[in-house]
Amino acid sequence: MTKIDLKRTEKYAFLIFLAAVVLFTVGAWDRIFAASVFGLRFLWIYPVLVVLLALILFLYIGRMKRAQVSGKKCAGLFFLQTMHKYRFLIEQLVQRDFKIKYKRSVLGAFWSFLNPLLMMTVQYVVFSHLLNIRGNTEHYAIYLLCGIVMWNGFNDCSTQSMRSITSNAALITKVYVPKYIYPVTRVLSASINIVLSMIPLLLVTTVYGLFSTPHLYLSKAVLLLPFGLLLMLIFCVGMGFFLSSLMVFFHDIEFLWGFVSTLWMYATPIIYSLSMFEEKGVMWFVKLEQFNPLYHYIQFIRTIVLERQSPAFSEYGICLAFSVGLFLLGFFMFRKVQDRFILYL
């Protein structure tokens, strides 16, 4: 395997860790200051947790250094070596997938800005004025836009990654490349659209907030948006592993996923709020939503944008559990069946 400059990796890892700590501390300061754990103020526990995480990172990088010298197996080292060895291919696949989506399009990537705004406008008129579904939801236009951006991002990631193995069959049958690279690169290319879609969300929120009652403005909590997006992208990678594996053996999964994703969309509070069901006493649906990952990811973003504060720490844990859980489930399933792909491509 390729030798990695782990000293350089260690430096970048700690810079990223430091940046993440700063963003989280500034964005979630009000939550950190007010929260308590087992009767102790979280403000005093937080520095200990940061130091503990930094120590864990330092020790794991040390383990990778020892594994590289001795030749022993290490999951983190293997991942870095794979990314380093195939970095050019990963870059080319991401660029190719992103460019293909907007091939022969006049507006090109500008559709990433325009599409959520057009959908928000149509749904706002239909559901707010014609069907009166908005209920007591404040700032319904921004409420809709948050849900649309997050759902479109998830749907784009899952749909593209589902076809990642079958659409690259010619390359897979000729050249050896770790097959899990294909779903990951599809999610990475689709994530560019999600990031671009966040720009009109923040711009519309700023402009809309000036003319709304009560006024809506962006706060320092907006620095926490990368955490919500990262958690959802990890979830999407896991979903990509799962769907792309099934797609190789059962091509019907493409049509079935179209039905499932539509059902999932209407089962997620995008155009409506759970307060409608609480007012009608339909508590079983409210409780059922707690098991809907997309509800938590969308609510994560809405809390930041609409409530102008950090989500509760329990929400971080729930989103992390869904992300890591599906990622591991999808990865182990993908790993178990990937050697049989060549027989069905």
Taking all residues of the chain, what is their mean pLDDT, rounded to a whole number?
86
**pTM as predicted:** 0.91
> pLDDT band at 126, cuts 50/70/90?
confident
* pLDDT at residue 250, rounded to an integer: 87
Looking at the predicted structure, is the pLDDT value of residue 136 above 80?
A: no
Q: At 134, is the pLDDT very low, low, confident or very high (cuts 50, 70, 90)? A: low
**Interval 268-291: pLDDT, tens:** 998 888 888 887 887 888 899 999
SS (H, E, C) the chain: CCCCCHHHHHHHHHHHHHHHHHHHHHHCHHHHHHCEECCEEHHHHHHHHHHHHHHHHHHHHHHHHHHHHHCCCCHHHHHHHHHHHCHHHHHHHHHHHHHHHCCCCCCHHHHHHHHHHHHHHHHHHHHHHHCCCCCCCCCHHHHHHHHHHHHHHHHHHHHHHHCCCHHHHHHHCCCCCCCCHHHHHHHHHHHHHHHHHHHHHHHHHHHHHHHCCCCCCCCHHHHHHHHHHHHHHHHHHHHHHHHHHHHHHCCCHHHHHHHHHHHHHHCCCCCCCHHHHHHCCCHHHHHHHCCCHHHHHHHHHHHHHCCCCCCCHHHHHHHHHHHHHHHHHHHHHHHHHHHHHHHCC
